[in-house]
């Protein structure tokens, strides 16, 4: 399931992040790429041990924890600390699929990359090109969102970032391990949860609310992996 999450970050959040990113020390993004991805990756990235990355990553994680839409859609178990990249001067990232597993920093645990996440820090009119293109059975989906917005999509998806021919594209990217590994099952739970919420809003005393809520939790109980 691909889902756009508007205004994850406020305008003040974006301004704070942009100021820090403008002063940060960037490195070749291929440093963190796998063997195959390194052949198609041309961008800049903050070092994984960067203090700026740690501070801004904490801000992004804090906002995620306050975002009901993300929680309902992702059902997060673990979230890898956000990373930050920069595209300019023709920089691009060709077709690739993300690694299945990443080790959590400073912990004896891994994150399974069920869900890929991108948060935009540059507005679409600040750069040319730079679309995130996500492929699925229905074709290509081109994503270029306002600063502060986020998109999530299955980590199993082949995707790319088109060349940035003008301006600078700044973004954060990271992965989430869900309580429910199956994308189809997560979508089912998300749609059921949304239907229940609409029913509560329109008919707060409807007799179907409790049974449907029970169905949701029984499915979550059956499908979740902790």
At 21-54, the pLDDT tens digits run 999 999 999 887 766 677 899 999 999 999 999 9
Rounded Cα distance between 80 and 61, Å, is 9
Using N-to-C axis directions, what is the helix angle for 209-223 and 183-202, rounded to 10°? 160
Give pairs for 138-143: CB < 8 Å, separation 24+.
Answer: 141/2, 143/4, 143/118
Please tell me the predicted confidence (pLDDT) of residue 34.
Answer: 67
Residue 162 pLDDT class (50, 70, 90 cuts): very high
Whether this model's pTM surpasses 0.85:
yes
Please tell me the predicted confidence (pLDDT) of residue 73.
Answer: 98
Q: Do residues 63 and 174 touch, judged by C-beta distance below 8 A?
A: no
Q: What is the mean pLDDT of residues 103-120?
A: 93
Q: Do residues 148 and 11 touch, judged by C-beta distance below 8 A?
A: yes
- Going from the N-terminus, what domains does the chain have, and what CATH number goes with each? 3-178 (2.60.120.620), 183-223 (4.10.860)
Between CA 191 and CA 200, with CA 194 as vertex, the angle to 5 degrees is 145
147: left (phi over 0), alpha (psi -120 to 50) or beta: beta
């Amino acid at each position: 399931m691909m889902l756009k999450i508007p205004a994850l970050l406020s305008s003040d959040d974006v301004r704070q992040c942009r100021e820090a990113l403008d002063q940060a020390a960037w490195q070749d993004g291929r440093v963190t790429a796998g063997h195959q991805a390194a052949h198609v990756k041309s961008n800049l990235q903050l070092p994984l041990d960067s203090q700026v990355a740690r501070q801004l990553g904490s801000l992004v994680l804090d906002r995620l924890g306050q975002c009901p839409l993300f929680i309902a859609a992702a059902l997060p178990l673990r979230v890898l600390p956000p990373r930050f990249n920069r595209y300019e001067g023709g920089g691009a990232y060709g077709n690739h699929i993300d690694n299945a597993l990443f080790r959590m920093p400073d912990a004896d645990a891994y994150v399974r990359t069920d869900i890929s996440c991108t948060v935009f820090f540059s507005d679409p009119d600040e750069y040319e090109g730079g679309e995130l293109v996500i492929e699925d059975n229905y074709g290509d989906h081109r994503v270029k969102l306002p600063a502060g917005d986020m998109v999530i999509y299955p980590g199993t998806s082949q995707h790319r970032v088109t060349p940035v021919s003008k301006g600078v594209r700044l973004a954060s990217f990271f992965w989430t391990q869900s309580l429910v590994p199956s994308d189809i099952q997560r979508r089912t739970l998300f749609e059921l949860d949304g239907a229940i919420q609409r029913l509560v809003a329109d008919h707060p005393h409807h007799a179907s609310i409790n049974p449907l809520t029970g169905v949701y939790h029984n499915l979550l109980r059956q499908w979740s992996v902790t």
